[in-house]
Amino acid sequence: MILDQPSKDIRRSIIKMVEAGGRGHIGPAMSLVEMLRVLYDSFLRYRSDEPLWPDRDRLILSKGHGCLALYATLAHKGFFPQDELVTFGKANSRLGGHPEWRKIPGIEASTGALGHGLPIGVGMALAAKIRKQDYRVVVITGDGEINEGSVWEAAMSAAKHKLSNLSVFVDYNKLQAYGPTCEVLDLEPLTDKWRSFGFQVEEVDGHDVNALEHLMTRLPLNSQKPTAVICHTIKGKGLPFAESNAEWHHKSGLSLEEIASMNDCLT
C-alpha cells in the first residue's frame, strides 16, 4: 500500500516528536496512522476548539503507548498547535509517553495500563444510552493488549447491553513487545472470538484509506450489537527497516543517521 501525502505528513510529525524527545514507541504509532486519520476525517463528530463539547463522539486509544500517532492527528486537526509536538517527552510538556485525560485537548481517557480502554468505553457508551444521547464511542486496542482479561469482560458487557454505539478497532499488526502474537499468546481465530462475544465483526486492511472510509460509512454494522473491526496492519508501517521489526517497538537514543533514514523513507 503506497502512502499518500496526508499519511506521510502525520508520520513526519511522529518523527519530529521522537527526534525532540529522544525516544518513543515508533512501531505501534506507525501502524495506527490511517486508522486515526480516517476516524477524524470521515467518522468522528467533534469540535477541536471545544474539546469537551457534550455531543462529541468519544475516541479512546486504549493502546496508549501508540500516542505519538494520536498526538500528531490531534495537532493536525487543530486541538493544539503543531509547534507543541516538539515538546514531546520534555519535563514541562503535557505530551508524555502515554496520553493523559484533562491535560491534553482531545484525550478522552488516560491509558497505557493495557486493558483499561474498552471498559471505560463501555461505560461511556452505556451512559449515552441511559441519557438518550446520540454520541458514539470508538476504542482502539492493540492486538497484544487483548491478552488482558478485562477486555473480554468488557466485551461481554457491551454485548449484553446491545451497545451499537460502540465500535472497537483492533490494531492487528501481529507483533507485540515480546515477539509475534502467535507465539506470545495466539489470538486466532480472532474474528470468531469477537463474534462469539456478541459483536458484529468485519476485517479490513488498516492502511487502506478508501477501504476504511467505506467501512465507516456503514457503522454501526448491526443496530443491536457493538461492532469490532479487525484492522490488519504492519507495525512500523512506512519505515521499511522498522516494519514488522520488534526492535522498533520502542526506541531511545536515536542517532542522527536513524532520524535521517526515517525522514528519507517519507520523501
Return the pLDDT at 178. 86
pLDDT for 115: 97
Give the confidence band of 264 by pLDDT, cuts at 50, 70, 90: very high
Average pLDDT of the chain?
97
Alpha-carbon dihedral sign for residues 185, 221, 204, 166: negative
Domains, in order of start, for the chain: 5-265 (3.40.50.970)
Contact assessment for residue 164 and residue 85, using Cβ atoms and an 8 Å cutoff: no
pTM: 0.97
Residue 121, burial from CB neighbour count under 10 angstroms (0-12, 13-18, 19+): buried
pLDDT band at 23 (very low <50, low <70, confident <90, very high): very high
How far is Cα 73 from Cα 82, in angstroms, rounded to an integer? 10
The residue-averaged pLDDT of 65-72 equals 98
Supply the pLDDT for residue 101.
Answer: 97
Residue 94 pLDDT > 90, yes or no? yes
Distances (CA, A) of 233 to 30, 145, 181, 265: 9, 15, 13, 18
pLDDT, tens only, 160-200: 999 999 999 999 999 999 899 999 999 999 999 999 999 99
Query: If pLDDT is split at 50, 70 and 90, which confidence band does 244 have?
Result: very high
Cβ-in-10-Å burial (0-12, 13-18, 19+) of 97 comes to middle
pLDDT of residue 187: 97
Residue 138, pLDDT above cutoff 90 = yes
Give the model confidence (pLDDT) of 193-221 as tens digits: 999 999 999 999 999 999 999 999 999 99
Confidence of residue 266 (pLDDT cuts 50, 70, 90): very high
Please report which residue ranges of 132-228 form alpha helices under DSSP H.
149-160, 181-184, 190-196, 209-216
Alpha-carbon distance 198 to 192, whole Å? 10
The helix/strand/coil state of 209 is helix
Report percent pLDDT > 90 for the chain. Answer: 97
The gap from C-alpha 170 to its chain's centroid, in whole angstroms, comes to: 8
The model's pLDDT over 99-135, given as tens digits with 9 standing for 90+, comes to: 999 999 999 999 988 999 999 999 999 999 999 999 9
> Which position has the grid cell 454505539?
165
Q: What is the pLDDT of residues 34-43, one digit of tens each?
A: 999 999 999 9
pLDDT at res. 1: 72
Give pLDDT, residue 2: 85
pLDDT of residue 185: 96
